[in-house]
């Protein structure tokens, strides 16, 4: 197993969030692109404003690394129409995969039909444009029962409305990594939450995001059926595998 191809190397902070200049923030993105080319990650996850520059760098390097971006990030409470408009702009910029923050607050309030409509519309837009689609459910905001229900709901909408082959292009993703929890509780993927998603979302793809920072945890995630790992520690994870492979 080559772990590199499970990794979505991620940098999604704005300059303000990182407390640095826009120039410095863009440089972080460029450094991530260089790193992805060197290590052969599956994808880099960046803000839409950097897609064109990253695309040019990848093309010049003949790299097969994909580009993903986030939609309605990190709150997820925009209208379906606004989500689709933002997604269309990302598609125009030639993003390969779009990660939508699902309206998890509306879900928690029982607005199930809204969530079904959102999943259907966003999936249809991406599939029609040959793009991968991920739905971020924000596990830290949900109870165990809610994680099960929303994972099943997304699966049901996709399998009911699209051919089975589409399931390989649709992901249920754990987290934004930006959710504020109380008492320093985990705000991203845990082994427990990813097990729940795997049991209830398959045959859709699943992505663990937030909190996967080391090789050992990444391996455990993959053993649970995780198909992709979003992490800001991709280099460290790959380096550990490289070290291990030279020891045998």
The rounded distance, in Å, linking the Cα atoms of 209 and 141 is 14
The rounded distance, in Å, linking the Cα atoms of 22 and 44 is 19
173 catalytic? Reply is: yes
The rounded distance, in Å, linking the Cα atoms of 51 and 90 is 8
Among 42, 131, 169, 173, the active-site one is 173
The rounded distance, in Å, linking the Cα atoms of 146 and 144 is 5
- Look at residues 205, 218, 234, 235 and name the one whose alpha carbon lies nearest to residue 8: 234
Among 8, 96, 99, 169, the active-site one is 99
Cβ burial, residue 62 (10 Å; 0-12/13-18/19+): exposed
- Look at residues 177, 118, 127 and name the one whose alpha carbon lies nearest to residue 150: 118
Give the position of tokens 């795997």.
198
Cα-based distances in Å from 207 to 31, 155, 183: 24, 14, 25
Q: Side-chain half-sphere of 168: how many Cα atoms within 13 Å?
A: 4
42 catalytic? Reply is: no
Give the position of tokens 């407390």.
19
Q: Is 161 helix (H, G, I), strand (E, B) or coil?
A: helix
- Look at residues 162, 87, 78 and name the one whose alpha carbon lies nearest to residue 124: 162
The 8-class DSSP code of residue 43 comes to E
Among 83, 134, 155, 207, the active-site one is 207
Q: Catalytic positions, please?
A: 99, 173, 207
């Amino acid at each position: 197993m080559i772990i590199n191809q499970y990794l979505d190397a991620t940098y999604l902070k704005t300059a303000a969030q990182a407390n640095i200049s826009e120039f410095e923030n863009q440089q972080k993105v460029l450094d991530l692109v260089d790193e992805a080319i060197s290590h052969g990650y599956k994808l880099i996850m960046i803000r839409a404003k950097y897609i064109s520059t990253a695309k040019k760098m990848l093309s010049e390097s003949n790299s097969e690394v994909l580009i993903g971006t986030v939609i309605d990030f990190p709150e997820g409470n925009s209208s379906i129409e606004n989500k689709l408009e933002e997604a269309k702009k990302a598609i125009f910029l030639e993003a390969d995969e779009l990660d939508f923050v699902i309206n998890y607050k509306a879900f928690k309030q029982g607005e199930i039909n809204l969530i079904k409509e959102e999943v259907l519309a966003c999936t249809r837009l991406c599939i029609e444009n040959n793009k991968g689609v991920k739905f971020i459910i924000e596990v830290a905001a949900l109870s165990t029962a809610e994680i099960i229900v929303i994972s099943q709901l997304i699966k049901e909408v996709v399998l009911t409305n699209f051919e089975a082959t589409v399931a390989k292009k649709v992901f249920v993703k754990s987290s934004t990594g930006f959710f504020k929890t109380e008492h320093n509780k985990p705000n991203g993927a845990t082994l427990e939450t990813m097990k729940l998603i795997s049991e209830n979302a398959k045959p859709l793809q699943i992505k663990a995001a937030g909190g996967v920072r080391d090789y050992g945890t990444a391996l455990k995630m993959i053993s649970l059926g995780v198909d992709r790992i979003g992490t800001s520690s991709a280099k460290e994870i790959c380096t550990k595998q490289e070290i291990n492979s030279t020891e045998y």
